[in-house]
Amino acid sequence: MHDTRQREGAPVTAEAIEQAATGLRAYLPPTPLQYSSAFTPKVGCHVHLKIEGIQPTRAFKVRGALNKVMRMRPEDRAAGVITASAGNHGLGVAYAAHAFEVPATVYVPENANTFKVEAIRRLGGRVVLAGRTYQQAYVEAMRAREASGATFVHAYDDPDVVAGQGTIGVELLDQVPDLDTVLVPVGGGGLIAGVATYLKTRRPGVHVIGVEPTGADAMTRSLAAGEPVSLERVDTIADGLAASAPGALTLAIARSCVDRMITVDDAEMLRAIRLSFEWEHLLAEPAGAAALAALLYHYAPRAGERVVLLLSGANLAEDVLLRALRTR
């Protein structure tokens, strides 16, 4: 059994998430929850799709970035923000920085999704290519932060970022109060940490299931080991989930709030992208299709179970989309 009591001094609380939801309403309307008449009969349960791909940055990451920048002191904003990202978090930070007229620098791996990199630049973010992995870009960003005095906005291991991502949980309980299970894609763990914190506090009976790529399963391994595990190599088509290790904060929350982890391979995510497009006319990048892949190929729902899939993003590169559409 998970201890779902709200502990005094907890780094992220349901109240903080509700406060974030109130603040974000001025910038981001709630995203739709769509009942899937296509997938429901196929899998034998009630399937609801939480569509984060219509966010202004086409991914959920803007929630956490906006909450972080909103809560900064004006004098800290004046010094700017800096971050490291595989793409979607950088987009969120660039969007938040633009909204508050804050200088933003985003360090990305040299092989980052060019679609996302160009979108960051269009929002006014300064992009610096550094290393071949998120971790290498992160190290370079931290060095630059020390020299610049800018505030570092971590992609997932920050209480304000986690609280911002957790606002999805607030919306879910408004949109489908009787939900049973939510499947959440996991990279560094910020999204599942926020959503799980909120749901397990306000509705302890809801099952929270994380979904990782087989080639980037650091959270799965860390939970099994009972301590942080860092992968020597990450290999996945889902750049949005390509974290080599969970954060200390996100792992601690996952240990107390996440019921189960599922891993999906690249072929399963590609098929889920195709089916999402063909059956629901929804675009999903590999990270955004991970929850659907888990439901289609690994999760065995109970008859009549009310399952929510978090379609976390739709920043899909053309070559990946074409590859997905050819997948059978």
Quote the Cα angle for 222-185-156, to 5°.
65
Question: Residue 49 forms beta bridges with which residues?
Answer: 34, 309
How far apart CA 295 and CA 204 sit, in angstroms, is: 22
Question: Structure tokens of 253?
Answer: 């929350």
Q: Are 198 and 170 in contact (CB under 8 A)?
A: yes
Among candidates 55, 3, 1, 57, which has minimal Cα distance to 31? 55
| Cα dihedral across residues 62, 64, 67, 71: positive or negative | negative
Q: How much is the CA Rg of the chain, to the nearest whole Å?
A: 18
Among candidates 294, 304, 313, which has minimal Cα distance to 241? 313
Question: Which SS3 state, helix, strand or coil, does residue 6 take?
Answer: coil
How far apart CA 285 and CA 48 sit, in angstroms, is: 18
Which residues does the annotation mark as catalytic? 61, 312
Quote the Cα angle for 212-217-222, to 5°.
120
Write the CB contacts of 119 (distance below 8 Å, at least 6 apart in sequence).
57, 91, 94, 315
